[in-house]
Structure 1
């Protein structure tokens, strides 16, 4: 142990055996890495593209961990802390936390894209937990680097279903507000993530969930063991290993009969004929446990490839909840969508009342209002959250392919069909939620087949004579008027009434009252999720903010593209922002101003640029004179050119001043007035 640390600790009244032995070992390792206590490391932070690749490589971990992180954050909110998820090498994949702590953490590169392995950051809970393969708490000046002494970190390794390290869940906060229960919460959260990973990995297997007491089934205490269709052991979660009294290595020599004294055929028959919700099984040690058995798709689709294998062969077919935009990662629960708008709050109240009641939900609203985001949140708040979320955009799939995409097909069903066939979206969603976006664009003949699936809960793949049972929840969305389509015989009335158990409408962005809050949340994501391209910028870059004048422009914008448009605009502005992190008019794309001062829908706004291109209003500051512009026969481009020339004259050729007055970028002035030789600030 370092003498200076030991002396400082004992001088402050800390017991002489401080720090613990594992911390002393970690300090020794840190020294061998060539680190020094007082230095600030040269943070090696991944670019946004490289980080997205790492997230994709850890797709399953991220998808299962993010909802758990959000729940944990609720429990520790307002405690000057944050929650971090890393991969198996200590690279931070995601983080969420309190607004007052995130900027402090950013100064030491505790954000997505930074690596916190011991050879990078010295002794710290993440890196040391990976090195020791055990949960670790590193408190205050137990950190090797002095720059990290302001925080206390509690980290727990996450094991994948095969017993290998998949990553780390870490809770970090101000060392002065550390609570002894933090580690317990982190451990429980990791156990939850591991169980979700286990279920997702062995969705096609025969799974036996068990416990000696029936009230513990369905809780973190239940053991889960996965077997093949013929009873060979696949894996067991931590609770199962504890109850069976054997580690994974020993359990791999066992089978279903040797562990539970029953063959696979006997178990399935007992499950089929039993009137009870649970079965009683015998363990090898003569103990009797209460059990639930799940054996879904493997029983009725023995010849089909698992969905994940099919998707890997066809990347365009990947339809999981993790496909939502980056913003969606932080808004994947209904409560996070409730940002203050009364219309949205009413929608959330309604859908909460019908979740898990087998009532189909139809979401209406303009394109870009967040219909898929709402559908994903409904799924994540339902009892099907551990099942797949399969999204299908009916408008983006060619009419000739949509039937095979939805229903799947057998080998040789048609020319060009894959060998062994393909599983369709309906069966991919088995046990979870099927989201049919733009349902109004589904071909009329296919609507009858979908109606049969919804009524009979069976699927007939193309070229197959077998009817395959399917268990799924349906959420649909459309921007069309389905009643009008029914009147035109373009949409089946019987299907409409089967889909609209509850119909809700998401308001367009221009009609929402929570725009400022939405913008703030999006900027937080840009600041902490995608920003910080290199270490030196990350240590000093301030959080993103918006100039009041720009926020006023946002409030007056029609937002024809709704959230999709706003997200893209903020991402562009964040990339162009200056060192102070403040988004100003010159950071906005030129076409944004086409929609300013137009609060009506785009189809009703014929000349949105006139109020921005009036030379009178731009140079004198007086309101735009629409009558003068309407009285002229000058084309709008000429008016814009005249406005720019007038503004340049008024500001003595200063391009920056003219651009600010016009509300456009300097690029626009250079493009429209190429012959001018302006001055600049």
Structure 2
């Protein structure tokens, strides 16, 4: 059938492949019974259904929103709009020029409307969904004449396993068509995909590569996700393009068969800051430069040890300090359903995560908690872990699971505070196909069923909606689950561990938490002490720094140690770990962590809370909040723990050689020199934002006296 290839204002050239592309779509539109002269009436989802669709695609929007804003800044005042749809073609969000948004609304191009081909015929959104490829539809190429005043450029968005997530589209007046618009949309879609991949696999090894090293860190780089055993789990589209593989073909390969290396070798290469890219080759001889990322934004840290994030198979935590850096840990990457650590003959030894034993650092309160847990382990008694945010409740739950008879079955964690109230029931109990608008085609099993045979960890249980508490109680009592939209019950066998920072007894009195559920969860209540109440601050610090810089762990200067002892640590161990993570990078190559290596906001908080940064001549006495360790009762029979080496203070900090601000500037300049002036790479190495680097150097540009 003839296709109109030009509308007033200029053509969008139809190359033969694209002409066939559009013609196929027109044929599908006619087969669907659509008429070219139909009016595009408004038929949006009702508000509740649109809200549900948005909630179910909240993660997609979270990654897409900043990219959409950046893209809008490029096309502002061009009579255009940016549209985000879900995988069914329903418009979730739109931003654009107000005048054009009003024109688009007249043809139902607005949130809640569906623009799949079956609803609107040939259009960039619907055709991109059907063809699973970037699509340009210009002017009269639209099947419905009512849409011929539009030019639309759309690109599908995929997850790392190749599943369609939705579509990003730029639509504008056809008279303002620009050939570069499609390029902007495709790059923006790839940005969203890369953000999704990094978020999906933030606790996995990711290899960023390109045949030209200067393209690493750009949208042209390929990204591969690697399991601890070397399996390839996912990739972005740039990786598939460079390797010439499909996603399915790539996932059937291993790092060894693709590049002839192992995760342990990669980790060893990038162990130190500022390591240069690796150079790896395909079996065909094609060479790539490779950089590695190990992002652990939610690393659970208790007693100063990373929660099975980077420690390999090497002895017991109670043994002496390892003689060499530990390899990457398997269980934290989800590679071992048992949560066990597989032997790694190449990487060698250092530390082994051994459940509750791993958590011991000499604090009497924590030892009491561990002994209580050991007495009820595998006795069918539910645990309720209490404690402030950041004290390590999830890591304790994982340790309990690790030491239990269920360790070879799943550990499933659910944060009751992070799931929207309208979705938490579906997340917990699962749902059947068609149970509600936006439900997956084949339904979903739910977290309770996923945890069958293993352990279900209900974090922030105090934030669970009251109506759902009754259904959870019934499921725990009957040991069965009925998914939404189903009449069949599924038997489940799970150990339940709850956790909260709230006072559940007060909530019961306020009738916001069910008393019967409280007693169902509270077989044994365990309170984790806040960091300010513990006696093992120095041991925690020492082990965090050992984990961050295993080859040359720094020590705290006397001044910083004194500050740490006096500070109240409102964020507990999570806050301490974040502070030390930055300090370990900032102090690279130096023996001591000084105040110059701490972030500005933390120093300001210190000043507010303890009144200044006066250097201390030596270790300050422990305040009352840190009493000396009490002797353990005779009944307690823990294995001997080799004493950790004392923190050394052989080098005093310079008294007035340079100001704190100048020390920061010198460190930033040194890092910039080391990475060749690459601001993005320097910000990653230093653990600070690019804006902070610009701000710090604004009045002190390199080269000034």
Indicate the structure with greater helix content.
Answer: 1
Which TM class, normalised by the smaller chain length?
A: 0.3 to 0.5
TM-score (norm 2): 0.45
